Every structure is written in C-alpha cells, then in structure tokens.
Amino acid sequence: MSRKIKFSIGEYYHIYNRGVDKRDIFMDEYDYNRFLLLLKICNSSQPIDVREMKKNESSEGFASGDRGETMVDIGAYCLMPNHFHILIREKIQDGISKFVQKFSTAYTMYFNKKYERNGSLFQGVFQNKHADSDEYLKYLYSYIHLNPVKLIQSDWKSRGIQDINEAYEFLNNYKYSSYLDYLNNNISQNTILNKGSFPEYFESGEDFKNNLNDWLKFEAI
C-alpha cells in the first residue's frame, strides 16, 4: 500500500514493511524469487505483463528483459521471512509511492491466490526514513545487509556476534539480499540494482566487508 508523502527527486530513502500481524510473507524459495522478480518488473511505468513474468521467472532467478524507463533507483535490498528493506532513490515524481504500490499489490495478489487467503498482506502503509546525510546513507548498507544475522542469532545487537565466522558464512549463502553484489564487487548481473545512482562508498568487496566489520564492532560495544 502506498502513502501520501512528498518524496524529493534525487534523494535517498530507506523503505520497509512487514507482514500484517507480523506474519511471514515468504513461505518458500519460490515466494522470495517472485518478490525479487517483481522488484525488477514493477520498476517501470509500463503495466505488468503476467505472461512475460511467467516466461522469465525461475527458481534460479529472472531474465533481464526490457522494462523501459524506471521509476526509482535501488541501491540495496534485503528480504526477511516477515519483512523487507530497500534502499531507494526517487527518480521521477511520485516514483517511490507508485513503485511500492505496484509491487506490493502484485505480490499480495500472488500470495493470496497461492495460499488461499484474502485481505491485506502487508502491515498498512510502508515505512520510510530519509537518508539525509552521507553518514546515515553509508550506515544503511551495513544495517540492511546484516539483517539476516538475526535468523541465526536474534540478540546479536545486544550481546554482540557470538561467532563472526558463522555469521559471515550465513551471509555468504543468503540469496535474498544484495549482500553478494557488493561483496563480489559488481561481478553479479543483478538487474534490480542501479549502483551508479548512489555514492561509490566501496571500491572493492574488501572495502564493503570492512565497513560491515566496523559497524559490527560498534554495535557490540
């Protein structure tokens, strides 16, 4: 669901939402991949072509295709069992609101049909925070990409990481975020992201990981 809010063209935002009543919104791998496909296909002023979606989607990812002019730029994302995070840039007037409304409606329709349910899937309007400083924008890359660590240690922010090697091994195998796109330094052909519209904070995958390490140490203090 969208919200009546004034986003500014060229500005960066952290948007996020969770399932209604904190319910899981991803039940299996196919659900995650459908959502990722929608992040790509819905980032266009063109209507969704369901036949093209079915042709492109697979358990291994999705085809690139031509979606025309995009409405937003995406710099990072992470899908969790009951919520999602996206680092996003307003590209055209009302681009963010239209984009979120488009993919959340499409995913809700898919989810409700698959699991034979009715009603809202997401918890009201999506939440957002304006990344209004360079420091905060850079911090969001760590915050978003470290979210999956909660799946193996829910209290890591209060207690600190108990096994940092285990945490990184888990992140290295987590397929539902843009973490590996930064760790591998643009090796991936991820068609969701448009890194060129965001500040180039990390010259290499090592720079990216060092930034994560710095934040992990800070949280553990």
Burial of 52 (0-12, 13-18, 19+ CB in 10 A): middle
Q: Kindly provide the residue ranges of all beta strands, DSSP E only, lying in 81-174, ordered along the sequence.
A: 83-90, 127-130
Q: Kindly provide the residue ranges of all beta strands, DSSP E only, lying in 83-201, ordered along the sequence.
A: 83-90, 127-130
Q: What is the pLDDT of residue 6?
A: 83
Per domain, the residue ranges of the chain are 12-130, 134-220
Q: Rounded to 5 degrees, what angle do the CA atoms 141, 145, 150 make?
A: 135
CATH 3.40.50.1820 fits 12-130, yes or no: no
The low-confidence residues of the chain, meaning pLDDT below 50, are 1-2, 58-64, 220-221
In terms of phi and psi (left: phi > 0; alpha: psi -120 to 50; beta: otherwise), the region of 5 is beta
Number of C-beta neighbours around residue 72 at 10 A? 25
Q: What is the pLDDT of residue 56?
A: 58
Helices (H), 116-159: 134-145, 156-159
